[in-house]
Structure 1
Amino acid sequence: MSAASAARTLRVGTRGSALAVAQTTVVANAIARATGQDVELVTVTTQGDTSRESLASLGGTGVFASALRDSLLASECDLIVHSLKDLPTGAHPGLVIGAVPRRADARDALCADDGMTLDLLPEGARVGTGSPRRVAQLLARRPDLEITDLRGNVDTRLGRVADGDLDAVVLAAAGLERLARDDAITEYFTLSDVPTAPGQGALAIEVRAGDERGSGALAKALATINHVTTHAAVLAEREVLAGLEAGCAAPIGAHAQIDDGLFFLTATVYRPDGTEQLTSSHAATPDGMNARDLEVAGRDVAQRVVAELLAAGAADLAPLGGAR
């Protein structure tokens, strides 16, 4: 049994933002129920929390992961919880994703003044987002918009709309719902029209390699809270990023789902100004619904999607490099 499994109290590393603490608390409670052990949160400050620079200039959302991973490798905690869309696709030596719980709402949401939808925003409206993908998607629908780079926690972002500094902001629906701020949503964007970041709405539980195996309490907890179809879907989405050699902040949307025995995956690469996009969709029939069969099907569709996008010129359409 590993030291983590034998410990009476399991330490769960998290960023200190209200959203990170809220979603980590859900995971911690699930682990406590599965193990019967005490669980405590360990707050870790990351570069992404302290810098006010844009995520693109910092190298993408991977800046939220590095300090958490250092803490885990230093045995300052036993597991860490990431928003999966913040996690680089490259493997990190000594660490593995031990579980992915059931995904929350993967959609993006508009939070606008006076209950407006995107189509109803006035000409030249000021809309805030820190995501190059969202910038491209917004400009594709409304090239007249004035897009403002946006950082800060959810309350800070919503406050800029309430104060009249911005007409609207675009945020992840899952985050708003986890903070009970979904009352601010004035429009949900459909995934078919506005595919979101690979892994959006999902959480990743990362552990030291080996702690996910065996009969210890932590390994059992990970197996209990892992949602097989969510895990397979987000792995396929992340395979698209990896296959395109794209960073977390690249203007790419992807969404996978398993429905009626079929594994579907769609991905879109955008020109940063929203004037052009390339989309590829493929499906596969898994041999079964177990983790291994779903992983094989997901990798198959991801490889076909990547090949089609590259053949169509995706690498020339948008800057794809960055933290992976």
Structure 2
Amino acid sequence: MREQAPRLQAGGVRTPAVTLRIGTRGSALAVAQTSTMARELERITGESTELVRVTTHGDVTRAALSSLGGTGVFASELRDALLAGECDLVVHSLKDLPTAKAPGLTVAAYPVREDQRDALCSLGGASGLTLEQLPHGAKVGTGSPRRVAQLLTLRPDLEIRDIRGNVERRLRFVTDGELDAVVLAAAGLERLGFAEAITERFDLERFPNAPGQGCLAIEVRDGDTPAGVSRLDDPAARAAVLVERGILATLEAGCAAPVGASARYADGKLEAWATVYAVDGSSRVSSRRAVEVSDPRALDAAQAELVTLISTDLFDQGALALMA
């Protein structure tokens, strides 16, 4: 199901020529982040834009996300629309995008990354109870197997509840008293104006993020990159997320696997750390490595080296058995 949303001038008059059609999921978060990219492209190119809303399988299924296998349930229909020429580019949340390249498509830009951390939201927001302060047996909601494993690693007494729905609905589980807290991506909360609901932002050292979390991906047809898109690419974000997703791909783990991976590129050093968890949080294996990058032209080689080093460490420690 695809619905085009025309741009309107003041007074409801349609602009005469929409030149760039941008595909997006129809959720409030997806539209908010896509609208940000649309405004940036308008600023760069001086051209107008139009959002093409696409309903994906992940938007309509009521099944737990962990049961869907993480195989692009939020991306397939968007990619179909792009290949069919119904839009000129699509904007994805990178953490929802499969690591394998889609035939005929390429990611042309990874914009500046926002906060990649997970956030705990308990009653009272900033004045609420942190993860450590939650009472014994507290009920915490999340739809992510990675977050389940990480929470149980730190607090095995918690009662974890599987939840679905948009950000606002998930926050209502707390305000309505059904849950003591929920865990959501900090970037999503900020993009929707719900930063005040955040009680605690988890330290990446203990709570590594889903690979690519906090970053968007702008996908285009091979050989058909619209003007201005390449200027949205941020080299530091690209370097970090390609390492994180490279680790995920090497482990042959899907988007829903209990794998956390964080990376950063700054001051000539590319650094990453990753953890693979047992789904019940009972055990885990971790690796941390860094590679010096004296010449930016050697960045691709440094990324590949770092992915190999960390993946080998994790394999040697039994990562495959944990994921199985």
TM bucket, shorter chain: over 0.9
Unaligned runs of 5+ in 1: 1-6, 213-217, 320-324
Deviation at 1:293, TM superposition (A): 2.5
Query: Residue by residue, what CA displacement relative to the aligned partner does 1:160-194 show, whole Å, maximum 9, x if unpaired?
Result: 10000000000000000000101000011011110
Tell me by how many angstroms 1:295 deviates. 2.3
Which of 305, 313, 316 aligns to 1:308? It is 313
Are 2:303 and 1:285 equivalent residues in the alignment?
Answer: no
1:94 alignment counterpart: 104
One-letter amino acid of the structure 2 residue matched with residue 279 of structure 1: S
Shift of residue 266, structure 1, vs aligned partner: 0.6
> Retained in 2: the 8 A contact 1:235–1:298?
yes
Query: How many angstroms does 1:62 deviate by?
Result: 1.5
Match of 1:242 among 249, 252, 271: 249
1:186 is aligned with what amino acid? T
AA aligned to 2:170 is: R
Give 3-state SS (helix, strand or coil) of 1:241's partner: helix
1:147 aligns with 2:152: no
State the distance in 1 between where 2:196 and 2:71 align: 26
**Partners in 2 of 1:230 and 1:187 — Cα distance?**
24
2:222 to 205, 209, 220: 209
Partner of 2:24: 14
Calculate percent identity across the aligned residue pairs.
Answer: 58
Deviation digits for residues 192-215 of structure 1, max 9, x if unmatched?
A: 110010000000000000023xxx
Q: Which residue of 2 aligns with 1:299?
A: 304
For the residues of structure 2 that align with 1:17 and 1:61, how far apart are their CA atoms? 19
Unmatched runs of 5 consecutive residues or more in structure 2: 1-16
How does the TM-score come out when normalised to structure 1? Answer: 0.92
Name the residue aligned to 2:68.
58
The structure in which a higher percent of residues are helix is 1
Q: Distance in 2 between matches of 1:17 and 1:208?
A: 23
Q: Are the aligned partners of 1:55 and 1:61 in contact in 2 as well (CA < 8 Å)?
A: no
Partner of 2:271: 264
Q: Where does 1:222-237 land on structure 2 (aligned, <5 Å)?
A: 222-237=229-244
Structure possessing the higher relative contact order (Cα contacts under 8 Å, 6 or more residues apart): 1
C-alpha displacement of 1:60: 1.6
CA offset at residue 32 of structure 1? 1.0
- Residues in 2 aligned to 1:18 and 1:238: alpha-carbon distance in whole angstroms: 26
Q: Match for residue 323 of structure 2?
A: 318
| Equivalent residue, structure 2, for 1:69 | 79
Contact in 2 for aligned 1:110/1:171 (Cα 8 Å): yes
Which residue does 2:150 correspond to in 1? Answer: 137
Q: CA–CA distance in 1 between the matches of 2:163 and 2:241?
A: 26
Aligned counterpart in structure 2 of residue 254 of structure 1, from 248, 261, 272 = 261
Deviation at 1:61, TM superposition (A): 6.1
- Distance apart, 1:14 and its partner CA: 0.3
What is the root-mean-square deviation of aligned Cα atoms in Å?
A: 1.1
Gap change, CA 1:235 and 1:293, over 3 Å in 2 = same
Tell me if the contact between 2:268 and 2:294 (Cα under 8 Å) persists in the aligned partners. Answer: no
Q: CA deviation at 1:259?
A: 2.5
Q: 1:264, 1:149 → 2: CA distance?
A: 33
> In structure 1, the residue corresponding to 2:169 is in which secondary structure?
helix
Question: Do the aligned partners of 1:126 and 1:148 also contact (CA within 8 Å) in 2?
Answer: yes
- Cα 1:161–1:8 shift into 2, 3 Å: closer
What letter corresponds to residue 106 of structure 1 in structure 2? Q
Q: Distance in 2 between matches of 1:293 and 1:45?
A: 40
Q: How many residues align?
A: 305
Q: Tell me the TM-score normalised to structure 2 length.
A: 0.92
The aligned residue for residue 53 of structure 2 is: 43
Residue in 1 that maps onto 2:43: 33
8 Å Cα contact 1:286-1:296 kept in structure 2:
no
The Cα offsets for residues 211-240 of structure 1, whole Å up to 9 and x where unpaired, read as 23xxxxx24x12211001101110110000
The answer to whether the aligner puts 1:196 opposite 2:201 as a matched pair is no
Q: Is the 8 A contact 1:229 1:294 kept in 2?
A: no
Report the CA distance between 1:94 and its aligned residue: 0.2
Q: 1:285 to 1:190 in 2, by over 3 A?
A: same
Residue 120 (structure 2) pairs with residue 110 (structure 1): yes
